[in-house]
Structure 1
Amino acid sequence: MPDNAATTATSALTSRVRTHLCRIAGQATPITYQALAKALDLTPPNTIHQVTVALEYLMAEDAAAGRPLIAALVVSKARGGLPAPGFFNTAQRLGRFGGDPSGPGAPAFYAAEFDAAVAFWRAAAEATETDDVA
């Protein structure tokens, strides 16, 4: 049986991650896992792991809702502008990516998903801001 405190903490972090990524989607510039952890003031240990777990939850939510993957806004500093392999593995598990996570199709899939995520989440953030002003 899952630990309720851990589930609650993951849910809270997932919400914070989505909120932050929605806020920066309009910049159309990816953020690194490390920068995201720092922006959220996460404390060690395992800050990157905390971020990746939250991103995987967001990917599942987005895939279930038919939305672009907001997690595409997050990249690995060590992978030349691509997300970590876990992004591709999760996208594969969710039926969104059919290639090899380290193969030649991964960058093209990522680029398309990034562009779709920026467009969708930028519009969503602008709609929210308009609703807040109205």
Structure 2
Amino acid sequence: MTLEARLAALAAAGQTITYGKLARDLGLRMEELTNALERLMEEDAAAGRPFRAAVLRQRLSPEGLPAPGFFLKAAILGRPAQDPLAFTRAERHALLPFPNIPG
């Protein structure tokens, strides 16, 4: 399964995954995963899409937030997160297949 397909499946299911688990599942080194996620964020920003990388979470984050690099990259791409928790929730919600239909 490709990175893009795995992120799409997680988003569709409303699930998250740790960076380490995703790297292991895809057979990637952490540096390779990080570089690929940053490229996807650039593609998403250019296309006006929510960040697919938002489905990742730090292993020890009590709120299930992505790593600090996610927020740094988002800011570089013109989408700074004043409130990281609200930003992450909004990105994840926007990734759902039908986010405007009440659950």
TM over 0.5: yes
Match of 1:62 in 2: 44
Q: How many residues align structurally?
A: 97
Matches within 5 A, 1:117-132: 117=95, 119=96, 122=97
Structure 1 stretches lacking a partner, 5+ long: 1-14, 100-104, 124-134
Match of 1:90 in 2: 73
Equivalent in 55, 59, 66 of residue 73 of structure 1: 55
Residue 98 of structure 1 and its aligned partner are, at CA, apart by: 4.7
Residue 24 of structure 1 and its aligned partner are, at CA, apart by: 2.5
Describe the superposition over 1:75-108 as per-residue Cα deviations: whole angstroms up to 9, x where unpaired: 1102221000000000000011253xxxxx1111
One-letter code aligned to 1:111: R
Query: CA separation in 1, counterparts of 2:55 and 2:88?
Result: 10
Segments ≥4 residues shifted beyond 6 Å: none
Structure 2 stretches lacking a partner, 5+ long: 99-103
Match of 2:20 in 1: 34
Query: CA separation in 2, counterparts of 1:73 and 1:55?
Result: 11
Describe the superposition over 1:40-93 as per-residue Cα deviations: whole angstroms up to 9, x where unpaired: 022xxxx22221111111000000001111000111102221000000000000
1:112 aligns with 2:98: no
Higher Rg of the two aligned structures:
1
> Going by fraction, where is helix more abundant, 1 or 2?
1
Match of 1:129 in 2: none
Question: Once the two structures are aligned, what percentage of the paired residues are identical?
Answer: 43
Query: CA separation in 2, counterparts of 1:95 and 1:79?
Result: 24
Query: CA separation in 2, counterparts of 1:94 and 1:109?
Result: 14
Query: CA separation in 2, counterparts of 1:52 and 1:68?
Result: 17
